Amino acid sequence: MVSMQEVTLLILAGGRGERFGGSKALYEVRGRPLLSYLVERVSSLSKRLIISVKSDPEIYSKLFPDAEIVVDEHEIYAPIVGLMSSLAEVKTDYVAVLPCDSPLVDPELIILLLRRARGRGGTVPIWEDGRIEPLLAVYKTDDLRKSILECWNKSDLRVRCAIESMDIVYVSMDEIRGVDPELRSFLNINTRKELELLNELLGDPLPRASTQELP
C-alpha cells in the first residue's frame, strides 16, 4: 500500500480571483483566509506541503510557515503553468493536487485517491455525466511532470492535455461517497451563493459585509 509519506500536497493558489478583488486564497471567511480551511484539513496527511502562488509570497509564508511557497513567475494564468512551476520542487513519488478554493476537501478522499493510484499514473474523480476533476487528484509525480512538459512544448495549456497521455484511474462519485457522502470536497467557492453555502456548512452566519462584493 502506498504510504502518505510518499505524497506531497500541492495547492494551486495562483488564480486571478477577480470576483474577490484579489487573491481568492487570501479572501477572508469568518476572519480567516479561505485557504486556511483547506490547509487545516489536509496538512496532517503529509509533512510536505507546497503552495503555488503568483504573488505575495511573504504573506503566504507568514500565514503558512510550514508550507513551501513556490512563486509561478510566468505571466500566463493557467493551472498547468502553476503545476509546471511547482513540480520541480516535488521530491516524492506522488503528488496530490488541490485547488485553493475547495476548503472542505476530506482528507479521506486524498487517502482513497492515493491508494487507487498505486502502480498507475494517477487517479482523477469523475462525475456521472463524464466531467472530471483533474485539479483535485493524485498523480505519479514523474509521469505528470513529463506529460505537462510535452503539453507546454506544443503550447497546449489544458490540464486535460496533460492527463490524456497518462495511465489514469477514474474514480466514480459513487466510490467517493464512501468517504465523503455529501461530496463536500468538490465545493468550489466562486460566487456569493457558494460562499453562503460554505458559511452554512461551517456554522455561524457571516456578517453581510463579508459577502456583499460577490455576485
Alpha carbons 47 and 67: distance in angstroms, whole number: 9
User: Does residue 12 register a pLDDT over 90?
Assistant: yes
Three-class SS of residue 207? coil
Tens digits of per-residue pLDDT, 186-206?
999 988 788 888 888 887 443
Between residues 152 and 16, the one the model is more confident about: 152
Alpha carbons 158 and 176: distance in angstroms, whole number: 25
Q: What is the pLDDT of residue 16?
A: 60
Query: 18: pLDDT confidence band, cut at 50, 70 and 90?
Result: low
Alpha carbons 1 and 8: distance in angstroms, whole number: 16
Residues 26, 101 contacting (CB under 8 angstroms)? no
Three-class SS of residue 13? coil
Alpha carbons 169 and 101: distance in angstroms, whole number: 24
Please report, as a single letter, which amino acid is at residue 83: L
Alpha carbons 46 and 10: distance in angstroms, whole number: 11
User: Does residue 209 register a pLDDT over 60?
Assistant: no
Taking the CA of residue 186 as centre, how many other CA atoms within 13 Å lie in the half-sphere pointing to its CB? Answer: 17
Total-model pTM: 0.88
Please state the rounded mean pLDDT for residues 42-49: 93
Q: Go through the domains of the chain in sequence order and give each one's CATH number.
A: 4-202 (3.90.550.10)
Q: What are the DSSP calls for 95-160, one per residue?
A: EEEEETT-TT--HHHHHHHHHHTTTSSEEEEE-TTS-B-TTSEEEEHHHHHHHHHHHHHTT---HH
Q: What is the overall mean pLDDT for the chain?
A: 87
Chain centre distance of CA 116: 18
Tens digits of per-residue pLDDT, 109-141?
999 999 999 999 999 999 999 999 999 999 999
Q: What share of the chain is helix, strand, coil (3-state, %, to 5)?
A: 40, 20, 40
- The DSSP H or E segment spanning 170 is strand 168-172
